[in-house]
Amino acid sequence: MLNRGLKILCLQAACSALSLFAGQASAESVVVASYNLRNYLPMERIVDGREASLAPKPADEIDAAVRIIRSIRPDVLGLIEIGGEEMVKDLQGRLADAGLDLPHSEWVRGADPERHIALLSRLPIVARNSRDDVPFSLKGSRHRIGRGILDVTLRAGPSQTLRLVGAHLKSRRPVPDFDESEVRAKEAWLLRQHLDGILSANPRENLLLFGDLNATKNEYPIKLLAGSPGSDTRLRDLPLQDPHGARWTHFWPAADLYSRLDYFFASNHLWPLIDLTASGINNDPAWNRASDHRAISTTITFPKK
C-alpha cells in the first residue's frame, strides 16, 4: 500500500510539472518598456565648463541609459526625448552591441524639431498609423501636437497583435506665449480622440498607451485619457512601483519635487494579459545619471492559440 501511495504521489507531481510546462510553453511573454532619455540629441550644453552648440548627450549618460535598458531586457522599447532618426539608429546600435537586438523601429517627426518619440522592437511591425501632424486651435492661434502620436501594431504571436500608442505631452515648463497646462489639456483631448477611434472600431484591441504625459494622476489629462468607467473605450492605469514601493518616475531638482509622469494604460481586452507582478519602475542606482526620469516596464503574457 505504501509503494502504491508513493507511485500515486509521484504520478501527481509529474502531471503537475507537465501541466506547468505546458502552460509555459503555450504562452508568449512580451516585456514593454517606456523611457524618457532626457535629451538623447545634439543640443546646447556646457562641456568642460564652456558652452557648446549641438553637443551630443554625454557618453556617461548614454552608457548609464544603455545599462538600465539592458537590465530590463525589453522586447519593445518606447523612447521619449530622442533626436532625429540618426539618434534612434545610434541607440539601436549601442543596444545591439550590449546584446539587446531590437531591429524594428518607428520614429515620429511631430512639430517639435528637436525632441521626438520613437519605438524599438524585437517584434515585427505589421501596421503603422503614427501621426506627425495633429493640428489644433487655442485662443485663436494654430498649434500642432509637439511630438505627434506614435501608433504601431506589432505581431506578438501567430494570431496575436499588440497595438502601441505613444505620447509625450507638453512639458510642465512655463512658456511666455501661452498657458502650458491648456496646451497639454488640448493635446490630451486629441490623443483621447485617437484612442477612441481605435477602440470604437475594435473594442477587443490589445492596446497599450505609453509615454511621458507630464501630468499627475489627479489632473485633467490623466482622467481624460482613462476614459469613462465601464465603457468599451476605458483604459486602465497600471499601478507601477519600484522595489521599495515608491511610485514616482521623475525628479525636478529646481523644486525638489518627485512625481509620477510616465504611464502605461491598458485597454479592457489587454488588461487580463498584464502581469503586474513582473511590471514596475526601474530603480537602478545610477538612474539620475542617465536621465531625470526612471524607466517603467510591464510584462504581457499572450496565450498561444
Comparing CA positions, the residue from 77, 301, 120, 122 lying closest to residue 206 is 301
Q: Could you tell me the pTM of the whole model? A: 0.90
Mean pLDDT of 201-216: 98
Pairing of strands 43-47, 207-212: unpaired
Average pLDDT, rounded, for the chain: 92
| 272 DSSP 8-state letter | G
- pLDDT value of position 26: 53
> Residue-wise over 246-265: b if at least 16 C-beta within 10 A, else e?
eebbbbeeeeeeebbbbbbb
Residues 18-38 have pLDDT tens digits of 443 344 445 789 999 999 999
CA-CA distances (angstroms) from residue 245 to 1, 49, 83?
51, 38, 32
Residues 262-271 have pLDDT tens digits of 999 999 999 9
- Contact between 281 and 246 under an 8 Å Cβ cutoff? The reply is yes
CA-CA distances (angstroms) from residue 133 to 140, 142, 147, 184?
19, 12, 9, 16
270 in helix, strand or coil? Answer: coil
254: Cβ–Cβ under 8 A, 6 or more apart, which residues? none
Comparing CA positions, the residue from 208, 39, 215, 45 lying closest to residue 116 is 39
Q: Where are the alpha helices (DSSP H) in the chain?
A: 2-25, 59-72, 85-97, 180-201, 220-226, 287-290
Residues 44-75 have pLDDT tens digits of 998 888 889 899 999 999 999 999 999 999 99
Q: What is the sign, positive or negative, of the torsion defined by CA atoms of 101, 275, 251, 115?
A: positive
CA-CA distances (angstroms) from residue 119 to 79, 86, 105, 107, 187?
6, 13, 5, 7, 20
CA distance 68 to 291: 11
The neighbouring-strand residues paired with 280 are 297
Given a cut of 80, whether residue 250 has pLDDT beyond it is yes
Residues 70-128 have pLDDT tens digits of 999 999 999 999 999 999 999 999 999 999 999 999 999 999 999 999 999 999 999 99
Pairing of strands 207-212, 160-168: parallel
CA distance 38 to 196: 30
pLDDT band at 164 (very low <50, low <70, confident <90, very high): very high
**Residue reference for cell 520614429:** 107
Q: Where do the domains of the chain lie, and which CATH numbers do they carry? A: 26-303 (3.60.10.10)
- pLDDT value of position 16: 44
Given a cut of 50, whether residue 196 has pLDDT beyond it is yes
pLDDT band at 7 (very low <50, low <70, confident <90, very high): very low
Given a cut of 80, whether residue 5 has pLDDT beyond it is no
Residue 112 buriedness (CB in 10 A; 0-12 / 13-18 / 19+): middle
CA distance 224 to 35: 22
Pairing of strands 50-55, 43-47: antiparallel
